[in-house]
Amino acid sequence: MSATQKISNALISVFYKDGLAPIVQELHKEGVTIYSTGGTQEFIEKLGIPVIPVETLTGYPSILGGRVKTLHPKIFGGILARREEAQDLAEVGEFEIPLLDLVMVDLYPFEETRKQTNEAKKIIEKIDIGGISLIRAAAKNFNHTLTVSHTRLYPDLLTLLQTQACSSSLAQRKQFAAHAFQVSSHYDAAIFNYFNESENTTALKVSYESGMPLRYGENPHQKGYFYGHLADLLTQVHGKELSYNNLLDVDAAIQLINDFVEPTVAIIKHNNPCGVASRATIFEAWKDALAGDPVSAFGGIIALNKPVDKETALEMDKIFLEVLLAPGYSEEALEILKGKKNRIILVQTGQLPTSQTVRSALNGVLVQDRNLVVLQKDQLKPVTKALATEAQLADMLFADKIVKHTKSNTIVLAKNKQLLGIGCGQTSRVDALKQAIQKAHTFNFSLTDAVMSSDAFFPFPDCVEIANKEGINAVIQPGGSIKDDASVAYCDANKMAMYFTGIRHFKH
């Protein structure tokens, strides 16, 4: 086995032709015999370069509407032959099979087709059979065959051809083979996930073709990467690169802000909201969200569900903001906000997947359905004699959205669709309430007639007792404690309204 392999015969059959011409011209210049199929064959012929149709080699035409073209021993024999094995060489000689030193094949655009249509017939036809087989065969026999499986590898191939006289080293062939198996495994995962949507099997296939290196992970001594397609969700129009922590906060911000319909601003720090307000205009929403905790807002992530106008941008520009996220910005607003060179400005152009969440745990991963519940007024169940006013019901629904996106244990205090105080990530519900009350007092909010929302049930009536002493007279919670009656009885005795949702919102 020779470590260096001269390319004498090449099989080229690709869906995408961009960047192909200079490669074919270089192969021709070096006297390489080229075999090809269909559209690729026509492309090469138009370049004035001789090419041998695969049908000439196999003796069979392309059949079944193009489904079968290259699945033939004369093709795969030339790819898989072990040149150090005398028996293999004898057999390819006997059957007049050319040894293929280069296989350039890409795959039908299955994922792209899925994005364009839901028509099963069109999607199924884009499941590549011959191409994936050729790629795997060539990669398996990397000792002798160079496989090029994606257009992003074309520049590397062209450099190799031009600088090494159409020869490749064993190390190079192995590297290209690794790329090939990356392409094939990702392709198979995409196909599996398409079928798995209806079959509902318990297997999990998660595949991303390339990772985006980040400056570091959560801390400077940790490496960090992002795997995914940010461009499908966000467009960055200004500022420094997004960090690991930025991405986590932006994720939390999008999940929260997308639950609101009326103009709303949310301020996020360390994945938790510290200021939220819904108002008639985005300008008013910004002012009242900031008022909820102007200290924590410093260096925060700001999410808006309506475009940013000049008036709002002028107010925002008065404090240090790490990231801004909105569906759009006026030209004047963008010019103002770009005044800070490192400020990250994002436009949300897509939506988060609505299926499942995946996170690492122990030596595996945890998968669950996304929490997509957004309660409506008719889903609230009154369990006390006193009933909430229409304004309080609106505040309950507002607070419940915030609770849903806050680390447990959490308590949210709200009034007039403004977050007044929040206690999050506490080991007891009482501590979470005390933290929320302290926050509200710190920024001079009156809690009289405010509502209290909890992510889980109250195991004891202690929280409603504390809330009542602060003037809070309406409570929303999941219910479900064996001691629910104690909390309800206290509310009845103190003319407080309590509503059950039946939906817990733990978040860890």
Q: Which of the residues are catalytic?
A: 140, 270
DSSP string, 78-121: HHH--TT-HHHHHHHHHTTPPPPSEEEE----HHHHHHH---HH
DSSP 66: G
Tokens, residue 108:
């039908």
CA–CA separation, 166 and 323 (whole Å): 49
| Bridge partners, residue 321, by sequence | 300
CA–CA separation, 293 and 106 (whole Å): 54
Tokens, residue 375:
């309660």
Nearest to 276 by CA among 249, 304, 255: 304
- Non-local (6+) Cβ contacts of 450 within 8 A are 395, 413, 414, 415, 420, 440, 470, 471, 472, 474
Nearest to 413 by CA among 389, 391, 387, 440: 440
The amino acid at 289: A
CA–CA separation, 343 and 487 (whole Å): 47
| Bridge partners, residue 68, by sequence | 63
Q: Looking up tokens 């196999």, which residue turns up?
A: 58
CA–CA separation, 421 and 447 (whole Å): 9
- Non-local (6+) Cβ contacts of 211 within 8 A are 225, 226, 227
DSSP 341: T
Strand order in the sheet with 102-105: 52-53, 33-36, 9-13, 102-105, 146-148
CA–CA separation, 47 and 376 (whole Å): 64
- Residue 55 near residue 63 (C-beta atoms within 8 A): no
DSSP 259: T
CA–CA separation, 162 and 151 (whole Å): 17
Tokens, residue 262:
């009326």
CA–CA separation, 84 and 81 (whole Å): 9
